[in-house]
A and B are shown apart, each in its own frame.
Chain A
Amino acid sequence: MRELSPQDRETVLVIVADTLSKERDQLAPHASLVDDLGAESIDILDLAFRLEAAFGVTIDEREIWVAAEGLGPSSSPEALAAGLERMKTRMPGFDWERFPKNPKRSDFARLVTVQSIVDTVARVLPEDRTSPS
């Protein structure tokens, strides 16, 4: 895992806030973009585009969708179960009753959090711009 500089982290947070028409201080690290901040699928594309422009990187939007604990549609059932358990401890405010037991691809967008966006950017930035966490 790599970590962003405080300045880069702030840039990401400002972009997330702008993309979703929220105030910067409304963004709790583990807030769900979809369930808590009202993001729609087009916003995820918009967010990836803005981050690409700001950081000069390429971000496959699927990167963002699976960014929640590295989970994705191709995750094994065991990895999925373990990852979802981790998410549950990290996102106690998230309404897990609303999350399906057998998630579809589109459901993963609901697990994208503010922190997972920060982590995605840290993953795609060159190593000399990030530090080990």
Chain B
Amino acid sequence: MPIYLYLDRGTLFHRFHPTVKVFGLFAVFWTVFWLDHPVALAPVGALLLGVAHASRSWANFRRLSWLLLLIVFFTSLVWILFFRVGAPLAKVGPLWVSRASLEFGLGRGLKLAELIATTIIFLSTTKVEEFSYGLRALGVPYRVGFAITLAFRLAPLFIDSALEVVAAQSLRGHEFRRGGPLSRLRRYAPVMIPVFMGALRKANNMAMALEARGFGHSPRPTSFAEYRFTRSDLFALIALSVLASASFLAYYLGWAGIKIR
């Protein structure tokens, strides 16, 4: 089973220069960061849906849909119930919601969904090597960039290993869902210890293999991949810059915030 989210589809979004892709990731994060109101966030969401479609990333959205929905739903719910500002619209026992809390909660959920969607699109269209190259081009030190990309490489391995450990301990009659929160936390020790030890061992083996393959030999490693900056890259950079600026402007002018009534 492939361990990355990268989908080899050859769309325009796949062909963008790595620097543009990494810049795009941060530009969308920046854009979303300044927006709170769901109406302000909605156009960005629509734009992301369009990009997901054009980059043919739906397979990964389907794969992670349960995670996406779960996080967005609970985030919205928690903020709607606990953002206790404005005049109550409805009340059930100690819980109440206001227009402001509804807007804020939905905005938070949407914001999180857009951040996750941006990451999924980025990982669906960007190889680990491109990510590393893009980070270097934006001035991130090579080792730091490589470590970040390695984390993407390792995460699925650790998840697989954790699932196997959970199965192994269940077969020994271990129940993870017994007792209160603290007791439940303690009951995860039989999983955490083997996973942690395995991760240390794996990281050690990987570090050894990296050094044996010359990692760190040259202060300026070269790149096997060749990337050309094209006119499409330039247009994309301009569009992303406009988007990021517009978002900040909307924030600055107070168009993107929640009004308390």
Q: Does B bind A?
A: no
